[in-house]
Homo-oligomer: A and B are copies of this chain.
């Protein structure tokens, strides 16, 4: 490669999208990916098979000009279908607006489209089985191990992007080499996850409702299911690693596994002929949040996507946030052509607070989802919010709507306003100042004024 080439470490979702957009701009792009080409080999092990794809992601792929290739592989999910312990279901729309939905999409299929589209540019190439071991920051040289040739390779590039995911080699190099004061945080939940499945119906159809995200919330554990194009569902169990009556540690016999599902998820169990095999063979994944700063080393490298900000999956925003990184980055690439130092510093100045926010929102939502089950205030709140969104589709937005369906509101603002709004709801309900009988325009007025008061009070107290 020439010394003027841009190197992207990682051909995952954000690496491929970034590569495509940079190639479109005319840059010479080399992408090096540690794994085999997923269009040829099955490399799904341990990775989430399907993901929630929503407005921020759609906007990014629209800007890249490839949204038409992607929409056909989407399955709309219009809301949560909540399954209680007796197998009764209750549908909760994602917003009071009828037209809003998120999409279930296969990570592998989407990644394949992104790579196919990227490779259409002659000034872009993707090399597989090239594992980045470290990046020498001072020399701007990336060190790879080529698993095909079993040889080490060094790559010097003008600009190096670390799109190499939560275990990013570039990020680890920034941590270890101590060339900058590198702030870093990794926070693990005490819960892990395991992927299971519902098979397709014999006719290729779906064994349960197709256009919903299914949830079996049970307090300290939870099962979810997302539809796949082939009629199957990917089912994910979230459960403590070690603590409590039921944990991945304690469910260590076929009998205990079966009894647990029989007791907690009876209607799901009926759709899981392969439960025991899958449970025993599939790995337990960890759930972590990663934050760091700076994202750049002196304008020569940039961390992007999960490499910069891995988040837990409870807001369905991981992939969307990574795609939005590319949207924000290109705003500055267009503003300051070729001035990478300026591009990267302006990018981080805008983006860091938003990626921090989605990391926090996702963890908060994990706890909130558990509380939703037991807390009567949450139930009233959800019903009142649904009414407000239905009546005022253009002016009232729940926190979930702001995060998921309003890509013009940055995550950090959605968090501040959304949390204040939630706090207003819960306290006004508890103080009996609003309830199901409150006249709707009165309700909106009370929520809005209380939300504004909360935000203003926090500001005065320098909490924002």
Q: Spell out A's residues near B (CB within 8 Å).
A: 181-188, 241, 286, 288, 367-368, 371, 377, 419, 422-423, 426-427, 430, 457-458, 460-463
Contact = CB atoms under 8 A, between A and B. Distances in A.
B368 A423 contact: no
Contacts of A368: 462
A451 to B, nearest CB: 12
A185 B188 contact: no
B460 A427 contact: yes
A457 B286 CA distance: 33
Contact of A460 (B187, B286, B430): B430
Contact of A185 (B184, B427, B430): B184
Q: Give the top 6 A-B pairs by smallest Cβ distance, nearest first.
A: A423-B461, A185-B185, A181-B188, A183-B187, A426-B460, A427-B457
Nearest to A377: B460
Contact of A422 (B183, B185, B461): B461
A457 B186 contact: no
Contacts of A187: 183, 185
A184 B186 contact: yes
A430 B460 CA distance: 8
Contacts of A427: 457, 460-461
Contacts of A377: 460
A435 to B, nearest CB: 15
A423 B185 contact: no
Contacts of A457: 423, 427
Nearest to A185: B185
Nearest to A462: B371
Contacts of A371: 462
A419 B463 CA distance: 9
A306 to B, nearest CB: 17
Given A181-B286, A371-B462, 19 more contacts: A181-B188, A182-B186, A182-B188, A183-B187, A183-B188, A184-B184, A184-B186, A185-B185, A367-B462, A368-B462, A419-B461, A423-B457, A423-B458, A423-B460, A423-B463, A426-B462, A427-B457, A427-B461, A430-B460
Contacts of A288: 181
A430 B73 CA distance: 55
Contact of A183 (B181, B186, B458, B462): B186
A371 B460 CA distance: 12
B185 A461 contact: no
A181 B461 contact: no
Nearest to A241: B181
A462 B182 CA distance: 32
9 contacts: A181-B241, A184-B184, A185-B185, A185-B186, A423-B457, A423-B463, A426-B460, A426-B461, A430-B460
A183 B462 CA distance: 28
A412 to B, nearest CB: 17
Contacts of A185: 184-187
A336 B367 CA distance: 32
Contacts of A430: 460
A377 B188 CA distance: 39
